[in-house]
Amino acid sequence: MIIIATDIIMTNEELWQAVLAQIQLNISQANFATWFKNTDIASCKEGQIMVSVPNSFAKEWLENKYGKTIFKILYNLDKEIKEVNYIIGKTELKTFKKPPVSFPSPGQLEIEEFKINKETNLNPRYAFDNFVVGPFNELAQAAAWAASKKPGLVYNPLFIYGGVGLGKTHLLQAIGNAVIKNFSNKKVKYLPAEKFTAGVVSSIKNHDMENFKAKYRSIDVLIIDDVQFLAGKEKTQEEFFHTFNTLYEDNKQIVLSSDRPPKAIPALADRLRSRFEGGMIGDISYPDYETRIAILKTKSQEKGIGFPEEVLDYIANNIQRNIRDLEGALNRLVAFQKINNQTPNLEVSKSLLRSLFLSPNRIANPKKIILAVAEFYDLREKDILSSSRKKEVVRPRQIAMYLLREELKSSYPFIGRKFGGKDHTTAIHSCEKIAKELGENENLTNEISLIKQRIFSG
Ligand code: ADP
Ligand code: MG
């Protein structure tokens, strides 16, 4: 987060988008896509900017070849900036705990991380008010809304699933925020499943399990995000099962999210799976065109900028499967607007956004498909590629073959060779088998649609 003029506040993301926007105008598409993909500002502290890059190649190139340009652009945006460094990955320095010294007054601080309540882990930015409802998410939204009105009494547990960037966390947090508003005496806690797991592990280590349990017993609404991460963690699942039962028997509300339905989470204890399935399950699928436009309009309004219809139309047509990406595109244009004090027209928007739309994330390849299938079924890539006849491998392999055919139009001989050197008749048989079953088996349809979401959302 940085302040570039007395009244213009930019988040790290916006600042970096502004840098990218300028660089993009000066180098080739190919270079841009190669060197600037997956880069970010990891931190900005006391005039020192830490840029995170995906690998050592990119680090070297950015430092040596583009370092000066990047520094110049940043310095032009903020004269406080003294130094730009590069790190691989983002974890090391991503701290927002302290505001940079250059902040003039706390009144201007708008860093979201500051607003997250330490007790509840809720971020007030996520509300029902700013959650756009369409046919793709209305069931999940309605259930969430009902749960927030009568926590513990309807839809318990409430289980929401859907692909990456489609609003699960937003909805879960909105429930928590609404409960706090509706019932001042209720205790709410939001936790990513990974944090819950970490809590279990450290309590076991410190022989502090009783304390851990007591902490959860006092909660009225427990919200656990991304429970697919509990897969395979037996001890954590056991603790979660007990916590779940205690709360459930006391009519406390439990809300869960996952990237897939309970029955598709591998290595989940049956008793936990049946608990997850015991309440209401709501899914979020892809937003339709109208909703994508509505979301873009809501977000531009939040930022106080009105973009031309044709610009919104351009974004909505090019990003169809991820609401976070819709926001990312919009942020790029917002950055342009803030720097140039001018709303980008369609032509400018196209040049600012082209590289986003070309992003390799949105294009499938055999490797991505195979990895996504392997991950989804909790297998290793090499198992899927082997010629093993184990039941738990055969079916995922057939699904991978089917997806290669459907999504990439790969030839049958290619598919056969790829998977354990089989001949093309095996490939044809596998693809046809899955295609036929798709019409009849709803589970399979859901699973394949979730795998596709993973392939196409990076
Ligand atoms: P997920 O948890 O499913 O990966 P998030 O809840 O983090 O997705 O959503 C990604 C971004 O998209 C967030 O900034 C969120 O506010 C926004 N978003 C998602 N769905 C909606 C919606 N229906 N209306 C408005 N914003 C949304
Ligand atoms: Mg999420």
CA 164 to ligand 1 center in whole angstroms: 9
- Quote the distance between the C-alpha of residue 185 and its chain's center: 32
Q: Tell me the CA–centroid distance for residue 292 and ligand 1, in Å.
A: 12
The closest-lying atom of ligand 1 relative to the alpha carbon of residue 326 is: 12
225 CA to centre of ligand 2 in angstroms: 7
pLDDT at residue number 28 = 64
Rounded to the nearest whole angstrom, what is the distance from the C-alpha of residue 11 to the centroid of ligand 1?
Answer: 18
Give, using CA atoms, the residue closest to atom 6 of ligand 1.
167
Is-contact 370 385, C-beta < 8 A? yes
Cα 321 to ligand 1 centroid, rounded to whole Å = 12
How far is the centre of ligand 1, averaged over its atoms, from the C-alpha of 3 (Å)? 26
What does pLDDT average to in each consecutive run of 10 residues of the chain (458 residues)? 51 84 71 78 89 81 84 84 85 36 33 73 94 94 96 94 94 98 95 91 89 90 94 89 92 95 88 92 94 94 92 94 92 87 91 77 82 91 91 94 90 90 90 90 84 76
What is the SS3 assignment for 10? Answer: strand
**Mutate-to-test residue for ligand 1 from 128, 161, 323, highest number of ligand atoms within 8 A of CB:** 323
Range list of β-strands (E), 71-184: 83-88, 158-162
Pocket of ligand 1 (CB under 6 A): 130-132, 137, 162, 164-170, 295, 323-324, 327
Token pair, residue 376, equals 């989804």
CA angle, 240 as apex, 234 and 246 as ends, to 5°? 145
Rg (CA), the chain: 24
Write the residue with the smallest CA distance to atom 25 of ligand 1: 131
Q: What is the pLDDT of residue 4?
A: 47
Closest ligand (CA of 327): 1
Q: Which residues of 179-191 are buried (b: 16+ CB within 10 A; e: fewer)?
A: bbeeeeebebbbb
Q: Tell me which residue of 220, 200, 224 sits closest to 212, measured CA to CA.
A: 200
Atom of ligand 1 nearest to the CA of 259: 3
Question: Counting ligands in written order, which one lies closest to the CA of residue 163?
Answer: 1
Dihedral angle of Cα 216, 218, 222, 228, to the nearest 10 degrees = 10
Q: Nearest-CA neighbor of 350 among 321, 323, 310, 320?
A: 310
To the nearest 10 degrees (0 to 180), the angle between helices 12-24 and 29-36 is 150
Strand 83-88 and strand 48-53: the pairing is parallel
- Distance (angstroms) between ligand 2 centre and the Cα of 167 equals 7
171 CA to centre of ligand 1 in angstroms: 8
Closest atom, ligand 1, to C-alpha of 133? 23
Whole-angstrom CA distances from 79 to 2, 4, 219 are 11, 8, 47
pTM for this model (two decimals): 0.66
Distances from the Cα of 192 to the Cα of 225, 236, 278, angstroms: 4, 13, 21
Q: Which of 170, 300, 315 to mutate to test the pocket of ligand 1 (most atoms within 8 A of CB)?
A: 170
Which atom of ligand 1 lies nearest, measured to the CA of 287? 23
Phi/psi at 2 (nearest 5 deg)?
Answer: -150, 155
CA 328 / ligand 1 centre spacing (Å): 11
Closest residue by Cα to atom 13, ligand 1, is 324
Question: How confident is the model at residue 108, as a pLDDT?
Answer: 33
Centroid of ligand 1 to alpha carbon of 322 (angstroms) = 9
Give the pLDDT score at 90: 64
Nearest ligand to the CA atom of 170: 1
Which of 11, 112, 324 maximizes ligand 1 atoms within 8 Å of its Cβ, making it the mutation to test the pocket?
A: 324
Taking CA atoms only, the protein residue closest to ligand 1 atom 21 is 167
Residue nearest to ligand 1 atom 23, measured at CA: 132
**Spatial distance between the Cα atoms of 447 and 26, rounded to a whole number of angstroms:** 43
Query: Nearest-5° angle of CA 205, CA 210, CA 215?
Result: 105
